[in-house]
Amino acid sequence: MVDNLDYPVQLIQLIQPNGARVCRPEFDRLITDIGPDELLSLYRDLVVSRRIDTEAVALQRQGEIGLWAPMLGQEAAQVGSARALAPDDFAFTSYREHAVAYCRGVPPELLTTMWRGISHSGWDPEQFNVTNPAIVVGSQGLHATGYALGAHLDGAEIATIAYFGDGATSQGDIAEAMGFAASFRVGVVFFCQNNQWAISEPVSLQSRTPISHRAIGYGIPAIRVDGNDVLAVLAVTRSALYRAREGSGPTFIEAITCRMGPHTTSDDPSRYRTDTDMSEWKSRDPLERMRLLLGRRDLLGENELSTIAAAADDVAAGLRRATIALADPPPSALFDHVYAEAHPLIDAEREEHRAYLRSLEGASS
pLDDT digits (tens, 9 = 90+) for 57-81: 999 999 999 999 999 999 999 999 9
* Cβ atoms of residues 56 and 98 within 8 Å: yes
Q: How far is CA 235 from the centre of its chain?
A: 17
The whole-number pLDDT of residue 3 equals: 40
Provide the annotated active-site residues: 259, 263, 272
Hey, which residues does 223 pair with through a beta bridge?
A: 253
User: CB within 8 A of 51, min separation 6: which ones?
Assistant: 312, 313, 315, 316
DSSP class of 131 = P
Quick one: pLDDT at residue 137? 95
Q: Read off the amino acid at residue 181.
A: A
What residues in the chain have per-residue pLDDT under 70?
Answer: 1-10, 365
What pLDDT is stored for residue 2 in this prediction?
39
CA–CA separation, 347 vs 336, rounded Å? 10
**CB 255, CB 81: distance < 8 Å:** yes
Reported as a single tens digit per residue, the pLDDT across 89-99 is: 999 999 999 99
Q: Please say whether the beta carbons of 124 and 101 come within 8 A.
A: no
Q: What is the pLDDT of residue 336?
A: 87
18-27-235 Cα angle (round to 5): 80
Q: Which helix (H) or strand (E) holds 222?
A: strand 222-226
What DSSP letter does each residue of 58-126 carry, written as one string? HHHHTTSSS-----TT-HHHHHHHHTTS-TT-EEE--SS-HHHHHHTT--GGGTTHHHHTS-S-SS-HH
E strand or H helix at 142: helix 139-153
CA distance 323 to 113: 7
Separation in Å, CA 85 to CA 82, 264, 286, 344 = 5, 27, 20, 40
pLDDT (0 to 100) of residue 306 = 97
* Whole-angstrom distance, CA of residue 186 vs CA of residue 148: 6
Contacts of 262 (CB under 8 A, 6+ apart): 70, 268, 269
- pLDDT, position 1: 36
Q: DSSP string covering 249-289, please?
A: --EEEEEE----S-SSTT--GGGT--HHHHHHHHTT-HHHH
| Contact assessment for residue 85 and residue 93, using Cβ atoms and an 8 Å cutoff | no
Nearest to 259 by CA among 80, 104, 133, 96: 96
Kindly write down the DSSP assignment for every residue of 288-332, as one continuous string. HHHHHHHHHTT---HHHHHHHHHHHHHHHHHHHHHHHHPPPPPGG
Question: In b/e form, how buried is each residue of 185-215, taking b as 16+ CB within 10 angstroms?
Answer: ebbbbbbbbbbbbbeeeebeeebeebbbebb
Cβ–Cβ < 8 Å for 194, 166: yes
Residues 101 and 97: their CA atoms lie apart, in Å, by: 7
Nearest to 289 by CA among 34, 1, 13: 13
